Structure 1
């Protein structure tokens, strides 16, 4: 067993990396992706430096695992400017728009018609057919206020 541990070749590291990447396909959520990439990188390192001690191979693997995962974590957290800041934030896109009350808002709760769908609404009491303006989104509710008489509903 000790001899097997000391005799890692670059093929062993590449096979290990490939195995981890295959396992990632089955839904590891990204955890095995960076470990597999680190194993493949150690395989490349052992190919370039064939006399690399097994202990240094394991240290390189550990360092690469942590560094690749940390790099991707920071990369994913980096918030950059986008030309579509409201993409996939449907409720935020509706703020400021005027809609028709679909189900009367009574005791602060009701529904409004938005396009071909209906959204839960909270706000001042309003009758069916009246116009309301969306002022905020909280969870699945749109906070609304009565719209001015000149406001027209949007489709």
Structure 2
């Protein structure tokens, strides 16, 4: 440990962080980015305040955990596209699904047995009365919801 304390400099953390950030090209989930950002932060802290390698590793681990928590809890869910515009209409028209939620106005949510265009659950509109558990067939796509009829 003494050797690491004496030989690990602040710029080692900076280079390590930049390598981790660059590795994000091969791991497209933004995980390596946060490990790299934390390593760069440790390098900046170490440039100002001399710390033992143990404390540096603890700071890096804590910053990485905090960064990942914030990313996956708050930021990442907001980045997912909730728009289905431009999807392949022919992939969904004619498919059968089951109603899982319905409101009074003939709107609700349905579930396909296998994901269609990346999602198992979709919102729908139906001219006829349907109940939870009914099977419906997709007639058309209107905006981000489906137009269905009972099967």
* Partner of residue 33, structure 1: 33
SS at match of 1:120: coil
Deviation for aligned residue 1:88 = 2.4
Within-5 A mapping of 1:1-155? 2-6=1-5, 7-49=7-49, 51-76=50-75, 87-88=83-84, 117=90, 119-122=93-96, 137-139=110-112, 140=116, 142=138, 144-145=148-149
Deviation for aligned residue 1:136 = 5.5
* Partner of residue 150, structure 1: none
Deviation for aligned residue 1:22 = 1.2
The 1:13/1:136 distance shift into structure 2, 3 A limit, reads closer
Structure 2 stretches lacking a partner, 5+ long: 98-105, 117-136, 140-147
State how far apart, in whole Å, the 1-side matches of 2:76 and 2:23 are: 25
Contact 2:138 2:149 in 1 (8 A): no
Deviation for aligned residue 1:122 = 3.7
TM-score normalised by structure 2 residue count: 0.56
TM-score normalised by structure 1 residue count: 0.54
State how far apart, in whole Å, the 2-side matches of 1:15 and 1:86 are: 37
Deviation for aligned residue 1:19 = 0.8
State how far apart, in whole Å, the 2-side matches of 1:75 and 1:55 are: 30
Give the number of equivalent residue pairs.
Answer: 107
Structure 1 stretches lacking a partner, 5+ long: 80-84, 92-113, 124-132, 147-155
The 1:31/1:122 distance shift into structure 2, 3 A limit, reads closer
Larger radius of gyration: 1
- CA-based RMSD: 3.5
Q: Deviations over 1:52-111 (max 9, x none)?
A: 2221111111111111111111113666xxxxx9522789xxxxxxxxxxxxxxxxxxxx
State how far apart, in whole Å, the 1-side matches of 2:55 and 2:65 are: 15
SS at match of 2:94: strand
